[in-house]
Chain A
Amino acid sequence: MTVTGFFFFSIAAVVLISAILVVVLRNPVHSALSLVLTFFSLAGLYILLNAQFIAAIQVIVYAGAIMVLFLFVIMLLNLDKEKRVGEKHPLQKAFGIAIAVFLLVALGSIVAAGVLYGNKGIHTEARVSAIGNTKAIAGLLFTDWVLPFEIASILLLAAIVGAIVLSKKEL
């Protein structure tokens, strides 16, 4: 096994285990902390894929900002240990297993068929490494995709207004 392969499988194992813990753990705060670990390890996978900028964003935005919001929401709702309210649907587990098996077969067949590897674009690994990952993204974002970039600011403005309208008692 190559060095990259070793790192990939170790990080992938951490991602999977912590993702399973998010679902399995009964204490919502523990689930949220497992989700932080999942996001962090995903950043490791991005680095293995030569996407350093995305990895940095993953840590700053997901593991940092979004998880802070998650923890705040858990505290706002005053969630204690998961209480078993309501009855479970008798077919709940059967449905879950059926969907999991379906997804496994569907994704497995796509990966096995090799359809995922389509035509490669102009930004090959060598080219991105030559000009630098962040610079390559910036060069595209601020020239070809300038309109979506400016629209993103309007989206963020809408989010500011929405958050204030929702959470202020009197405007």
Chain B
Amino acid sequence: MPIDYLPIFAFLVIAILFAVVTIALSSIIGTKKPIPQKMMPYECGVDPIGSARRRFSVKFYIIAMLFIIFDIEAVFLYPWAVIFKDMGTFGFIEMGVFIVILFVGLIYAWKKGALEWE
């Protein structure tokens, strides 16, 4: 029933309001005396060089891709876990086949060094 989700909605509203109110309040009642040193990302330490928008390594792509695939595998496990007791051995074998096929993929990724950060 959608009404069961009202507490989650209330939680969401309070979380958003808290974030908005604290930022708004600190900008309203706080004093602002900006000096160049204060406006730098790091007051002490190494001065920033260039833009933060640097090109990322393609290694991140493969990590993100593998994350999505195993995330979807995990999503299939939720309904299976809910019905596991009713299904018995058949459900166990069924999910076993599913996981073994994906495990082959994991071994492939492992052997090809996709999990290494070379």
Contacts and interface: CB of A to CB of B under 8 A. Distances in A.
B72 A61 contact: yes
Contacts, number: 135
Interface string B52-80: 01111011111011111101110110111
Given A50-B2, A64-B71, A156-B69, A73 B61 contact: yes
B29 to A, nearest CB: 28
Interface residues of A toward B: which range?
A: 35 or more
B82 interface: yes
B58 A76 contact: yes
B44 interface: no
Given A138-B82, A149-B94, A164 B108 contact: yes
B contact patch SS? helix
Interface of B: 1-2, 5, 9, 51, 53-56, 58-62, 64-69, 71-73, 75-76, 78-80, 82-83, 86-87, 91, 94, 97-99, 101-102, 104-106, 108-109, 112-114
